[in-house]
Amino acid sequence: MEELAFTMQLKPGAAAEYRRRHDEIWPELTAALRAAGIRDYSIFLDEASGRLFAVQKRLPALPVMQRWWAHMAELMDTHPDHAPVVQPLTRVFHAD
């Protein structure tokens, strides 16, 4: 399974709300992620810059994911379809 790593950018002052929304992630979205085989998905925040760093196995193009993006769009930089603006990262090292 392909692993993806990328960064996203929060809007100024949105970190607490972003964290709160993820603390209350929709059960439907959690179920959809699991159904797609995603069991290891982490998002990290650089508090100083508002930059998010995410690592996931893959992201499904499901309606619930698109609704979640719309729900989060006011908090972060997004494309017109509400998908987060991401900057893919290239792995330079990995160890198990």
- 86 has a pLDDT exceeding 60: yes
Q: 22 catalytic, yes or no?
A: yes
State which residues form the domain around 51. Answer: 4-88
**pTM for the whole thing?**
0.77
- Per-residue pLDDT band for 96 (boundaries 50, 70, 90) equals low
| Neighbouring-strand partners of residue 82 | none
- Distance (Å, rounded) from C-alpha 95 to C-alpha 68? 32
The domain total for the chain is 1
Q: Write the CATH number for 12.
A: 3.30.70.100
pLDDT one-digit tens code per residue, 6-42: 999 999 999 999 999 999 999 999 998 888 888 788 8
For residue 22, give the nearest of 35, 8, 2, 36 by alpha carbon.
8
Give percent of the chain above pLDDT 90: 56
| Domain-located, residue 54 | yes
CA distances from 10 to 21, 34, 38 (A): 13, 25, 23
Catalytic residue among 22, 79, 82, 94: 22
